[in-house]
Every structure is written in C-alpha cells, then in structure tokens.
Amino acid sequence: QHTAVKIAPRYHNGPVIHVLDASKSVVVCGNLLNKDKKQDYVEDIAEDYNDIRDEYYANLKQIRCLPLNDARKKRWISENESINITKPTFLGTEVFDNIDAEKLIAYIDWKPFFDAMQIRGKYPNRGYPKLFDCKEVGAQARIVFSDAQKILSDIIARKLFSIRAVIGFYP
C-alpha cells in the first residue's frame, strides 16, 4: 500500500514495483526485461496501484478525527495511582557509535533469513531454532545457518562495517 500511495505517484522515471522479499524479485525482473511482456506487466501494476490508491483515499474520507481539546478530554487516565512508569535516562537524541557487532548477533531474527533461502520446516518445526529438527529441511538449514555464522564472524573479524544507532525521547 505504501508503494502505491506514497512512492509510485512521485516517481516518473519508470515503473515502481514492490515485492515482499528478494526471492520474488526474479519474476518481476524477468517480466520487465521481456520486451513482449513488459508493457502489459507495467500497465497491470499501474492499474493495481491505482485501485489501491482509490481504496486508500476512499477510506480516509470515512475517518473522523476529534478536535484536539476533545481528544484530550477523552485521554486515558490510570485507575492505579501507584503505577510506576520508568522514565528514560535522557531526553532528546543520543547517538551510539561503534556498537560491538558481536553483541548484536544474539538479537538477529533468523526467520527472514530462512524465508529468503526458501527453507521452511513443517509444523511443529517451522521457525528458528526448531527448524533444525525438521526431517525435510533440518540438515539444509543447519548448513546454511553455519555458513551465515562464518560470514558474520568474518565480517566482525575484518571490521567490514561499523554499527551506529540513534535513539530519541521527546516529551
């Protein structure tokens, strides 16, 4: 929806096409490179995006927003006065430079990785790490995962990139 509503109308140098993941881009590229299919394919996408935009804007007309003062009168008020809301240690923006990549590995969501590799286990062994127990794809998943770990280790050892983060709290 975002591509159809926000991006495509503002880009005039060629077709704008959203794909859910990289594995599906092969079909899109094939259609765009095929002289016999390209025009019809681009027109179909443009028509789909027009329909999505029309539906989006029609739904916007149905949304009614309260005036700010009315919304403030309807704000949530805690019934529990003893609730302890943790306040951040700072307000505004803070930049974190040179974050240790090794510390981030534990937070990697491996599901999109295995999805892109088109490795999916069967219930109840669908997601990582249960995927490794799947009879059909477990061995392949372990090999691909091991290769990914080696690549990550090489990236970290050779310091091929640096990691930065910016966060902000604004009252």
Q: pLDDT tens digits for 69-121?
A: 999 999 988 888 777 888 899 999 999 998 999 999 999 999 888 988 889 88
User: Where, residue-wise, is CATH 3.40.50.280 in the chain?
Assistant: 2-62
**Distance of alpha carbon 59 from alpha carbon 80, whole angstroms:** 37
Report the topology of domain 2-62: Rossmann fold (3.40.50)
Q: Indicate yes or no: pTM above 0.75.
A: no
Other Cβ atoms within 10 Å of 55 Cβ, number: 13
Superfamily holding 92-169: Cobalamin-dependent Methionine Synthase, domain 2 (1.10.288.10)
Take residue 143 and report the two structure tokens written for it.
């090999």
- Provide CATH 1.10.288.10 ranges for the chain: 92-169
Paired with 94 in beta bridges are 167
Q: Choose among 160, 159, 164: nearest CA to 97.
A: 164
Instruction: Please name which of 147, 141, 127, 117 lies closest in space to residue 22, comparing C-alpha atoms.
Output: 117
